[in-house]
Amino acid sequence: MNPQPAITSTAALISDPARAAMLMMLVDGRARPAGELAYTAGVSPQTASSHLTKLLEGGLLCVEKEGRHRYYRLAGPDVVSLLKHLALFGPGEPVRRKAPNREVEHLHFARCCYDHLAGRLGVEMTKAMLGRGYLEHGDGKAFAVTPDGAEWFAHLGLDIARITPGRHGIARKCLDWTAREHHLAGPLGTQFMAQACTLGWFQRPPSTRAIEVTPKGWRALKRYLGLDRRSIDQRSDAG
């Protein structure tokens, strides 16, 4: 009996949630490095490497090396077309493995990046501060703290006049590559993080970089920045 044409092998490649996530990340036509694909797919670099090899061998991806980086992209417009065809096909939820590596969701949401707050929460906090006029865009890689901002931080126990500036001032912009937007870093970001822990808003479990927001923390975020869990989740889903 003749074996099926490649429909089973192509379909099998796409059927894994991690591989599908990586493919869909690439639908916009841009190349992305392996580490980023691993991170977004929620798997370890080793797992991602194994999956990327399969996608390469199956003709769905191609790769370009640049130093130690490996940039992957979809192999051609026929792959884009196929993925869109599958995406447009009827409703449904994944029937295969459960979402891998649950800690990654925490890391996406809120994590510690060099002692400041990163992840979606970090980004949304930063946007709220900008929206309320506590921060504004400075030159280059810095935010500027406004007078209102200085007062707001003081209210939380942070005297910005006493913070030693770093190379980019006290409020450095750090590009969060999960949300692909900037969050507050630098000395102010670090001290804000520490103060939030002292105030009991955040907790840092010893074994991970994920940050836990306590109930008290949620109340504070609501009060001081108008942020709550649901609105942050909705913004990320719409994104």
Interacting partner of 27 out of DNA, a copy of itself, none (Cβ under 5 to 8 A depending on kind) = none
Total binding residues toward a copy of itself, as defined by CB under 8 A? 45
Q: Which residues contact 220 (CB under 8 A, 6 or more apart)?
A: 196, 199, 201
141 binds, among a copy of itself, DNA, none (CB under 5 to 8 A by kind): none
> Which candidate, 183, 36, 48, 37, places its Cα nearest to that of 109?
183
Residue 4 engages a copy of itself in binding (rule: CB under 8 A): yes
Q: How far is the CB of 50 from DNA (least distance, A)?
A: 5
The amino acid sitting at 218 is: W
Identify the residue whose tokens are 């450095």.
Answer: 172
Binding mask 56-85 for DNA (x = CB under 7 A): -------x--xxxxx---------------
Is residue 120 within 8 A of residue 147, CB to CB? The reply is: no
Asked if 180 interacts with DNA (CB under 7 A), we say no
Figure out which of the listed residues 29, 46, 66, 93 binds a copy of itself, where binding follows CB under 8 A: 93
Amino acid at 221: L
Identify whether the C-beta of residue 118 lies closer than 8 Å to the C-beta of residue 106. Answer: no
Total residues at interface with DNA (CB under 7 A): 33
Give the containing element (helix H, strand E) for 189: helix 186-198
Q: Mask: binding to a copy of itself, 27-66, rule CB under 8 A, as x and -?
A: ---------------x-----------x---xx-------
Residue 87 interaction partner, one of DNA, a copy of itself, none, beta carbon < 5-8 Å per kind = a copy of itself
Among 10, 14, 24, 54, binds DNA (CB under 7 A): 54
Does 165 participate in binding DNA (rule CB under 7 A)?
Answer: no
What angle separates helix 17-25 from helix 45-57, to the nearest 10 degrees? 70
| 146 is a contact residue toward a copy of itself (CB under 8 A) | no
Query: For residue 220, what is the DSSP state?
Result: H
Residue 67, contacted partner among DNA, a copy of itself, none, CB below 5-8 A by kind:
DNA
Query: What is the closest distance, in whole angstroms, from the C-beta atom of residue 237 to a copy of itself in the complex?
Result: 6
Chain center to CA of 65: 24
Q: How far apart are CA 174 and CA 186, in angstroms?
A: 8
Instruction: List residues bridging with 118 in a β-sheet.
Output: 111
Q: Which is nearer to DNA, 50 or 198 (CB)?
A: 50
Contact 235, 229 (CB under 8 A): no
Do residues 211 and 204 lie in contact, with contact meaning Cβ atoms separated by under 8 Å? yes
Residue 43 interacting with DNA (CB under 7 A): yes
The residues that touch DNA, with contacts defined as CB under 7 A, are 12, 16-18, 33-36, 38, 43-54, 63, 66-70, 95-98, 100-101
